[in-house]
Amino acid sequence: MAAGNSSRPQNPGRGDAPGPGDRPSAAANDRIEKFRGVNLARLVYSAAFIGLLYYLDLRYPLLYAAAGLHLLFAVLWLILLETEVIVEKRVWWSGYAPATADVIYVSMWIYLTGNVSSFLVAGYFVSIALSSMTEQRNYGLWTAAMCALCFSTMGVLVYLHVLPTVNILMDAVRPTGTALIITIGLTCFWFLLVNRIISTLFLRLNQEIIERKAAEDHLMRDLQLARKVQESIIPTYDRLPASRELSFGSFYLALESVGGDLYDVLPLSENRFAFLIADVSGHGVPAALLTTMAKAIFAKAVAAHPDHPEEVCRSLNRDMYSFIGDLRHYLTAYYCLLDVNTGKLEYCNAGHHPALLFRPGESAVRELDTGASFFIGVEPDFAFERGEIQLEPGDRLFLFTDGMIEGRDASGEIYGPERFENFIVSNAGLPAGELVRALIADLEGFLGGTTPEDDRAILCIDYRAQNQATER
């Protein structure tokens, strides 16, 4: 956002709300992240198996070949998933391939250990159970059938003396027919049990994720609507009233999608203008709702008391208290009234930062404050005071919220009012809009990319003689 030229709420840390076009990419990232651990485990297990074969000096070329093929498969499968070449929605067999490869791999472990319940195998069964599930289908039945086929084939080959008996945990024993049947049955039962337990949890979690995403989508739609409403009540630069005697610069940045800061310029007549800036406690939707309420009440108060700024604040306080007095929320406000013909400026401060006045030729800014000042919406009735000053052509007025001076850099140092005021004086030759842009750039440079802690709003008003140029 160009400072001085727009007041659209922004959130640079998180970006605009995600739209429908962003969902496939986000879903793909979730899917890759979910299976990344399983794929990495597949790589580790494959490499460990080859290392164990070499360490035990087991000279079985078939095992080396199978383990090497599984390691190659693990590498290629990880690459295909990470690059999204393999996606279940368009590659129907994408879940069967890893399940089949893993069952064959586990069969080699079982052959090598001679014990289905070996600790070398149990952990990998859990990995299979996890990798056999996606949002679309559960491959548990297929995997169980593959277990039965591979284990029975391996057992029969050992039973028929086609494969030698190997057992690195104990003495090798050739299985009997009964032991073979029991082993196959228990293995399939074990996998189906683990898969069933994990799939139940997986499906329940997946349903909660779907419901949460639906709720988030609904919330984002509500936030977008709230942001549009807030955009309509905070005037952009091109919607500020035109006047030969006035020139404006403005900036607004919401900490979240919507914020609790507000500024406004109201033309009361051809020569009289009202200026308001307000800051609601808190952030986000609650603060934005109170901001919208304050805007409506403020307009009513100005209409009822067009010539008395202190009465406008008193009326605003009374009405806001009736709404938020029990909610422990409040707002600060600064309201002023200017007659451009006479240069008379009347103002009232309601617990806000005093407005700053810079007069050409002076080396410092002036604070325009009043004696009696308190927050809006805390007490049912408060006697606010009115201040008055005579403006001269060339005077510049600043209304701002605390987010403009309370930002902190990475080391915790605060931007501070002194730096803020010095920048105003040092750059007094810039037009109002350019000065605001330069001020925001200086603030951002000081913060060094740290996340904002509060909403920011500033309204800069130049008072000019009638024969000066009307350029903004």
Q: Is 289 helix (H, G, I), strand (E, B) or coil?
A: helix
d(CA 7, CA 395): 23
30-68 pLDDT, tens digit each: 555 656 777 787 788 778 878 877 887 777 777 778 788
Of residues 457 and 93, which shows the higher confidence score?
Answer: 457
Mean pLDDT computed over every residue of the chain: 78
Q: What tokens were used for 392?
A: 């001269």
Domains defined along the chain, listed by start: 20-220 (no CATH), 235-463 (3.60.40.10)
User: What pTM, to 2 d.p., does this model score?
Assistant: 0.59
Count CB-CB contacts under 10 A for residue 302: 22
> Which helix (H) or strand (E) element contains residue 70?
helix 61-82
Average pLDDT over residues 17-27: 41
d(CA 64, CA 67): 5
**CA-closest candidate to residue 239, choices 218, 214, 267, 261:** 267
Question: In the structure, what pLDDT confidence band is assigned to residue 327 with cuts at 50, 70 and 90?
Answer: low
pLDDT of residue 326 exceeding 70, the answer is no
d(CA 418, CA 441): 17
Cβ–Cβ < 8 Å for 231, 252: no
Percent residues over pLDDT 70 in the chain: 76
d(CA 69, CA 435): 67
Which of the given ranges, 114-118, 140-144, 224-228, 258-262, has the highest pLDDT on average? 258-262
Sign, Cα dihedral of 225, 230, 231, 232: positive
d(CA 371, CA 413): 30
Which of the given ranges, 250-264, 282-296, 302-316, has the highest pLDDT on average? 302-316
Give residue 17's pLDDT: 35
205-238 pLDDT, tens digit each: 778 888 888 888 877 777 777 777 777 778 877 7
Of residues 13 and 205, which shows the higher confidence score?
Answer: 205
Burial 410-421 (b: 16+ CB within 10 A, else e): eeeeebebeebb
pLDDT of residue 131 exceeding 80, the answer is no
Question: In the structure, what pLDDT confidence band is assigned to residue 19 with cuts at 50, 70 and 90?
Answer: very low
d(CA 260, CA 455): 7
445-467 pLDDT, tens digit each: 999 888 888 889 999 999 986 54
Which of the given ranges, 96-105, 241-250, 269-278, has the highest pLDDT on average? 269-278
d(CA 77, CA 278): 57
Average pLDDT over residues 131-146: 64
**CA-closest candidate to residue 227, choices 454, 13, 7, 450:** 7
Which of the given ranges, 15-24, 139-148, 208-217, has the highest pLDDT on average? 208-217
Average pLDDT over residues 75-80: 84
Comparing 25-29, 285-289, 290-294, the range with the smallest average pLDDT is: 25-29
d(CA 52, CA 58): 9
